[in-house]
């Protein structure tokens, strides 16, 4: 009979299994990118495969003691979302994500929050339009919304200001991510499944690690709606309507994001 493993030994075994699994996933992703680049795999199939692998890697990293790997995988998943083709720039950027994740998987000691923040902010950003004439700032805005239409609209406004929009679809996941790596600003849609944007903002405002993060609620509610009276002091409001661009500009100016 094999000796019973201690809790520490079991954790070590699980981490080793995660590392082996992560290596395999990353290798498959490298091969997928290469095949798309050579034309032996369609972009649609390649993007689907990359998205699935990134999603699975994101879900496993934190559970096995590799939170930075999860964060890089989440950024890669966000980068891929909405792509229908992979051009040369996309392939180079995706390879950069894979290189960073691979390096983190091989580290015996994972980076602290400060180093993790540097790693994440150095990752490529996929802008919807040409930003060569835009001054890019080292400012990350977490956009919490399940709506692709809203995400695209807000991301374009933020990108036009030179900011890095990071989309999170799940409001519950957004709380975990914001606590682990506070963004420079957070914008949350009012209407979401599970938790409303107001719930997310109130929760983060109640936590010491995120209470000073500038936040804004994205809503189509009438300004006189009673629900909006529950917004915590200091939180901005961005209305989805004719004043949208003006509201975004006002919030950015108000919080002096740079």
In terms of DSSP bridges, do strands 185-189 and 164-168 run parallel, antiparallel, or are they unpaired?
unpaired
Judgement on whether residues 65 and 169 belong to the same structural domain of the protein? no
Judgement on whether residues 157 and 214 belong to the same structural domain of the protein? yes
pLDDT > 70 fraction of the chain, expressed in percent and rounded? 93
Judgement on whether residues 75 and 152 belong to the same structural domain of the protein? no
For position 3, what pLDDT does the model report? Answer: 59
- Paired strand residues for 6: none
Is position 144 within any domain? yes
Q: Does the pLDDT at position 150 exceed 70?
A: yes
- Between CA 204 and CA 200 the distance in angstroms is 6
Q: What is the pLDDT of residues 44-89, one digit of tens each?
A: 999 999 999 999 999 888 888 899 999 999 999 989 988 889 999 9
Angle (CA) 59-60-61 rounded to 5° is: 105
Judgement on whether residues 112 and 180 belong to the same structural domain of the protein? no
Q: What is the pLDDT of residues 199-209, one digit of tens each?
A: 999 999 999 99
Judgement on whether residues 152 and 113 belong to the same structural domain of the protein? no
Query: Of 89, 121, 153, at which residue does a domain stop?
Result: 121
- pLDDT, mean over the chain: 89
Of the pLDDT bands very low, low, confident and very high (cuts 50, 70, 90), residue 137 is confident
Domain range enclosing 213: 140-255
Domain count, the chain: 2
Judgement on whether residues 89 and 147 belong to the same structural domain of the protein? no
Judgement on whether residues 155 and 80 belong to the same structural domain of the protein? no
Q: Does the pLDDT at position 2 exceed 60?
A: no
């Amino acid at each position: 009979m094999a000796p019973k493993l201690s809790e520490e030994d079991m954790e070590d075994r699980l981490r080793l299994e995660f590392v082996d699994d992560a290596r395999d996933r990353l290798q498959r992703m490298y091969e997928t990118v290469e095949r798309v680049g050579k034309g032996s795999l369609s972009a649609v199939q390649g993007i689907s495969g990359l998205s699935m692998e990134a999603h699975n890697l994101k879900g496993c990293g934190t559970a096995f003691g590799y939170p930075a790997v999860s964060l890089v995988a989440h950024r890669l998943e966000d980068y891929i979302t909405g792509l229908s083709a992979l051009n040369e720039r996309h392939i180079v950027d995706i390879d950069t994500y894979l290189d960073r994740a691979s390096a983190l998987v091989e580290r015996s000691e994972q980076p602290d929050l400060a180093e993790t923040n540097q790693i994440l902010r150095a990752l490529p950003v996929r802008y919807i339009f040409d930003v060569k004439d835009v001054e890019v700032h080292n400012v990350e805005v977490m956009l919490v919304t399940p709506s692709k239409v809203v995400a695209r609209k807000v991301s374009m406004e933020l990108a036009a200001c030179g900011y890095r929009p990071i989309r999170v679809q799940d409001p519950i996941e957004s709380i975990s991510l914001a606590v682990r790596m506070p963004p420079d600003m957070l914008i949350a849609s009012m209407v979401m499944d599970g938790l409303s944007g107001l719930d997310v903002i109130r929760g983060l405002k109640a936590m010491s690690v995120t209470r000073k993060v500038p936040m804004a609620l994205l809503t189509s509610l009438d300004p006189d709606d009673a629900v909006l009276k529950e917004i915590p002091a200091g939180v901005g409001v961005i209305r989805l309507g004719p004043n949208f661009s003006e509201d975004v500009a006002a919030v950015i100016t108000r919080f002096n994001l740079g």
